[in-house]
Amino acid sequence: MKSHVWRPLWIVLGLVGLILLLRPLIVPSDFGTGERGFMYGYHRKGNEEDWKAIKVKYRSKEYCKDCHQEKYDSNMSSKHSIIQCENCHGPAVDHPENPEKLVIDKSRALCIRCHAYLPYEQSDRSKIKGINPAEHNPDMECSMCHDPHKPNLGG
């Protein structure tokens, strides 16, 4: 084995050794094969917690109820009770601290997501009361006549 023929091999082995030595210094210690095995579970364990730690932004109706009981009750007695407050008011995040005020979307564009009539009888879309946005008071905000919380006119 003293022959010069082996020198390139020693260099290659040296490089491999170097990589193996460096690996523990660079790769996070929690990197490895998880419960799902090597094919589907090879990862940095800490990343699962990273994802869990993401901030929840949409808090849902129950979060709003405590302070806005009146609006909540009014809404819950109408057909729009199925709609989340935050679909129009925007994500609460840490409201009222942050943001202090929510930006309310009162646009026609929001209403016609459901209420623009589409002739699709096989989908529940056609069961929703629909209008032709181009003909039904096109220059007016829907909320001028319809209360978004309790939309039935006069009801």
Partner 1 sequence: MKFSRRELLITAAKGALITALPMGAIKFLEPKEVMAEIKGPGKVRWAFLVDTYKCVGCGLCVKACKNENEVPYDTPVTRTWVERYIIKKDGEMLADSPMGARDGFTENKIRETAVDPKDIAKAFFVPKLCNQCDTPPCVQVCPVGATYQTTDGVVLIDRSWCIGCGYCIMACPYGVRFFHPVHKVTEKCNFCYHRITKGLNTACVDACPFGARMIGNLKDPNDPVTKIVLTERVGVLKSEYGTKPQVYYLGLDENVR
Partner 2 sequence: MTAETAQNAEMVVHGLEWTVKELFTYPNEFIYWTIQIVMYPFLTGLVAGAFVLSSLYHVFGQDDLKDIAKFSLLFSFALLLVAPMPLLFHLQQAQRNWEVMLTPHFTSAIAAFGMVFSVYMAIVASEIWFVHRKFFVEQVNDLRNKEGIGNAILRIIYSVLTLGAHDISDAALHKDERAVKMLAGIGIPVACFLHGYAGFIFGSVKANALWMTPLMPVIFIMSAIVSGIALCLLTFVLIMEWQKWQISRHGRRHWQMSADEVKGAEIDMVKKVSKYLIGFLVAAITLELLDLIFRGYTAVKSWDILRSVIYGKDFVNIFILQYTVGNLVPFILLLLPGLTVKRAVLSTLLVLFGVFMMRWNVVIGGQAFSLTFAGYMHYHLPIIPHNLETFKEGLFGALLMGGLPFFFFWIFNKVIPSLKYK
Q: What is the rounded CA–CA span in Å between residue 27 and residue 48?
A: 17
Binding partner selected for residue 2 from partner 2, partner 1, none, CB under the kind-specific 5 to 8 Å limit = none
CA dihedral 91, 96, 100, 102 (to 10 degrees): 30
Which residues are CB-neighbours of 15 under 8 A, at least 6 positions away? none
**Binding span for partner 1 by CB under 8 A among 14-22, 65-73, 78-86, 142-150:** 78-86
CB of 79 to partner 1, least distance (A): 10
**Binding span for partner 2 by CB under 8 A among 2-10, 48-56, 69-77, 109-117:** 2-10
- 119 upstream amide cis, omega within 30 of 0: no
Q: CA triplet 119, 123, 125: central angle to 5 degrees? A: 65
Site mask for partner 2 (CB under 8 A), range 18-47, x = bound: -x--xx--xx---x------xx--x-----
Interface positions with partner 1 (CB under 8 A): 31, 34-36, 39-44, 47-48, 50-58, 60, 82-84, 86-87, 90-91, 109, 112-114, 116, 118-125, 128, 133
